[in-house]
A and B are shown apart, each in its own frame.
Chain A
Amino acid sequence: MPEAIVRLDGVSRRFGSVVALEDFDLSVPAGTVTALLGPNGAGKTTTVRVITGGLRLDKGSVRVFGMDPSEDGESVRSRCGVVSAKPALYDRLSGRDNLLYSARLFGIGDDHERIEKSAARFGIEHALKLKVGTYSTGMKTRLALARAVLHDPELLLLDEPTAGLDPESSRAVLSLINELARGGKTVLLCTHLLLEAEGLADQIVIMDRGRHVISGAPADLARKYWPNQVVLIDAENREGLEQAASFAGVLSFERNGHALVQLDDLARVPDLIKYLTDRGLRLTRVEPKIPSLEELYFHARGRSG
């Protein structure tokens, strides 16, 4: 397991009577994508703010790159790139001036080549001269992403980066995030859209009302919640699929056009195939059913009450 770049231990933060974080733990390993999942108000934005030292803690401890952001905020923040839920751009300035402002604050100066490169990476270089107030939501998000990676941060904190985007732009943004992650960046992606995290996250953390619900690699969590694997079986003559229910080792059987068969041991699959073909079924599909993140999410939240 790589070293944790971010570690939150027992972090609590309240705003008056509203609990934003309650005894919350989080560990983000280096070079991975961690998806922080939860409904609106779960505490995802507060978590990002606590990581950069933007918010004080009521209780608990935060270490980022081994430092305490409340003490060494300047050093921590200079190694982080943040995209907040709203793009937080200066509408009266041009795209280039927005990037220049960030470049100067992060100490990389007026590096125009870098600015061009970063903008080009997110396909926004053609609009750098225009005032941001004239940008579409998608363009603003792309510019915010270009700004967040401009100083080549080690840790990217992306808070609902596709909020308000059309499906096409969302997909493009997610693919860019994927590219960044594969390039070795550590990414913390906050979202309530499970599809965003699907296939992107090495680790998921589900939170609700400021509390940690579950965390782990999606496959590990699937094994934890569905220890007995489910096999999806389909056939040309579907009516015969019912016979699988009487096969030895079948724990549960479900029909939804195709059949979902839960087995006590995956080693039984070859025997099950033989069993069905011997009974005249012409199988078209046999594959392990991997639970979607959505199923995992609702299962975990259901268990947490």
Chain B
Amino acid sequence: MNWQRMLVVARTDLRQLRQSRDFWIPMAILAALFFVLFPTVLLLVLGAAQRSEVVRQIGATLDILPDRVKDSVQGPDPLTQAQYAMAVYLFAPLAVVVPLTISTAIGANTIVGEREKGTGEFLAHTPATESEIYVGKLIASVVPGLFATYIGFAVYAIIVNSIVGPKLGRIFFPTTQWWILMFWVVPPFIALALSAVLRISARVRSATAAQQASGLVTLPLILLAYSQSSGALVGGSMVTWMLGLVAWLGAALGLMRGTHAVTRERLLGVDQQA
């Protein structure tokens, strides 16, 4: 495998995405909604809720959490505890949903897009191998999702520390589990989803079909990731590490199988004539 060529494919795809405002503006809005707007509004609204009834109801919700989680919830008063629980536990799944949504949207178009635009003909006649093209496109699909997520994560950390931190008297976020979730669990989930999406993109006839089929494939994965990321945070570090390991193994298997998805005949669009 020629890594330089593979990175050239990735960089060129990323450059094209950068030039496509119609693509990245909605994606940036999506990340901003989940990482900035919703948390800010919810935490501020909760902070402003002076009525003991609201706080009591949230306190009751916290009662159903495992003891380990309840013990970890910090704060001098029930209101701060509710805000802490919300910041640390409620928004965790969003960290998985945002990159999965962005990366699968890119991945779904990546190969079928080359075919639709006719540029697959160019790629098929270059010395780049099918594996180099596949991995290059995989990188180009992963990077924007992760980039948006890590930027969103950083902004989210600033927001929750700014709103809840003063009441706790310290910077409390990210917690250990969040670090593990972001850098150990999220990347393999994206890779796993993309291994399926790229295979779809290589096989279908149009970008629209790719988007629809990708949605069907990735929706269960998003739900799984959603539930697992919540569980990971609730379940403690060991559970998070184990979950990540399983996801990495699944991703490795999926990606290895996926390398056969890109063929020159598919880039040329002739496999569907057969």
A and B are interacting partners: yes
Which residues of A are interface residues toward B (Cβ below 8 A)? 14-16, 18, 49, 52-56, 73-75, 77-78, 80, 82, 84, 86-93, 97, 101-102, 104-107, 131, 147, 157
Q: Mark B99-110, 1 if CB is under 8 A from A, else 0.
A: 000000000000
* Main secondary structure on B side of the interface with A: helix
Q: Which of B15, B122, B124, B273 contacts A18 (CB 8 A)?
A: B273
Q: Select A54's contact among B16, B125, B273, B274, beta carbons within 8 Å.
A: B125
In the complex, A52 Cα to B20 Cα: how many Å? 32
Check if B127 sits within 8 Å of A86, measured CB to CB.
Answer: no
Q: How long is the Cα–Cα vector from A77 to B132 in the complex, in angstroms?
A: 15
Complex Cα distance, B19 from A93, in Å, reads: 8
Asked, given contacts A54-B264, A90-B119, whether A105 binds B127 with beta carbons under 8 Å apart, the answer is yes
Instruction: Please name 20 pairs of A and B residues whose Cβ atoms are closer than 8 Å in the assembled complex, sorted by A.
Output: A14-B274, A49-B124, A49-B268, A54-B125, A54-B267, A77-B126, A82-B125, A84-B121, A84-B125, A88-B122, A92-B20, A93-B16, A97-B15, A101-B12, A104-B4, A104-B5, A106-B126, A107-B5, A107-B127, A131-B19
User: Which residues of the other chain, A, contact B120 by a CB distance below 8 angstroms?
Assistant: 88
Contact for B5 among A86, A89, A92, A105, CB less than 8 A: A105
A74 contacts B127, CB within 8 Å? yes
Q: Is B117 an interface residue (CB 8 A)?
A: yes
Which residues of chain B are within 8 angstroms of A54 by Cβ–Cβ distance? 124-125, 264-265, 267-268
Complex: A16 Cα to B272 Cα, angstroms: 9
Give every chain A residue within 8 A of B5 (Cβ-Cβ).
104-105, 107
B126: chain A residues at CB < 8 Å are 77, 102, 105-106
B162: shortest Cβ distance to chain A, in Å?
38
Given A56-B265, A105-B128, decide whether A92 and B19 contact each other with a Cβ distance below 8 A: yes
Contacts of A131 on B, CB cut-off 8 Å? 19
The closest CB in chain A to the CB of B120 belongs to A88
For the complex formed, measure the closest distance between the CB of A300 and the CB atoms of chain B, giving whole angstroms: 28
Question: From B128, which residue of chain A is reached at the shortest CB distance?
Answer: A105
Q: Which residue of B lies closest to A48 (CB)?
A: B125
Q: How far is the CA of A120 from the CA of B23 in the complex (A)?
A: 34
Q: Which residues of B contact A74 (CB under 8 A)?
A: 127, 129
**New A-B contacts (6) at CB < 8 Å, excluding given A86-B121, A101-B8, A105-B8:** A56-B265, A84-B121, A86-B118, A88-B120, A93-B19, A105-B127
B15 and A93 form a contact (CB under 8 A)? yes
B41 at the interface (CB under 8 A from A): no
Q: Which residues in B have their C-beta under 8 angstroms from that of A97? A: 12, 15
For residue B270, CB closer than 8 A to chain A, the reply is yes
User: When the two chains form their complex, are residues A77 and B268 in contact, meaning their CB atoms are under 8 A apart?
Assistant: no
Q: How far is the CB of A131 from chain B (nearest CB, A)?
A: 8
Question: Contact: A55 with B121, CB < 8 Å?
Answer: no
B205 vs chain A, min Cβ distance (A) = 15
Smallest CB separation, A158 vs chain B (Å)? 12
In whole angstroms, what is the CA distance A88 to B122 when docked?
6
Task: Indicate the size class of the contact surface on chain B.
Answer: 20 to 34
Q: Which of B1-54 contact A (CB under 8 A)?
A: 4-5, 8-9, 12, 15-16, 19-20
A84 surroundings in chain B (CB, below 8 A): 118, 121-122, 125
CA distance in complex: A82, B126 (Å): 9
**In chain B between 242 and 274, which residues have their CB closer than 8 angstroms to a CB of chain A?**
264-265, 267-268, 270, 273-274
Q: Are B12 and A90 in contact (CB under 8 A)?
A: yes
Whether B274 pairs with A53 at a CB distance below 8 angstroms is no
Minimal beta-carbon separation of A152 from chain B (angstroms): 14
Would B270 and A55 count as touching, CB distance under 8 A? yes
Nearest A residue to B133, CB-CB: A105
By a CB distance below 8 angstroms, the chain A residues around B265 are 54-56
Task: Collect the chain A residues with CB atoms within 8 Å of residue B273's CB.
Answer: 15-16, 18
Report A-chain residues with C-beta under 8 Å of the C-beta of B122: 82, 84, 88-89, 102, 147
Contacting residues, chain B, for A55 (C-beta < 8 A): 264-265, 268, 270
What separation, in Å, do the CA atoms of A157 and B127 have in the docked complex? 15
Closest chain A CB from B265 CB (angstroms)? 6
Question: What's the nearest-Cβ distance from chain A to residue B73, in Å?
Answer: 49
Nearest CB of chain B from residue A153's CB, rounded to whole Å: 10
Rounded to whole angstroms, the CA-CA distance of A118 and B63 in the bound complex is 72
7 smallest A-B Cβ distances: which pairs?
A15-B273, A88-B122, A82-B125, A104-B8, A78-B127, A86-B118, A88-B121
A88 touches B270 (CB 8 A): no
* Beta-carbon nearest neighbor of A105 in chain B: B126
Contacting residues, chain B, for A82 (C-beta < 8 A): 121-122, 125
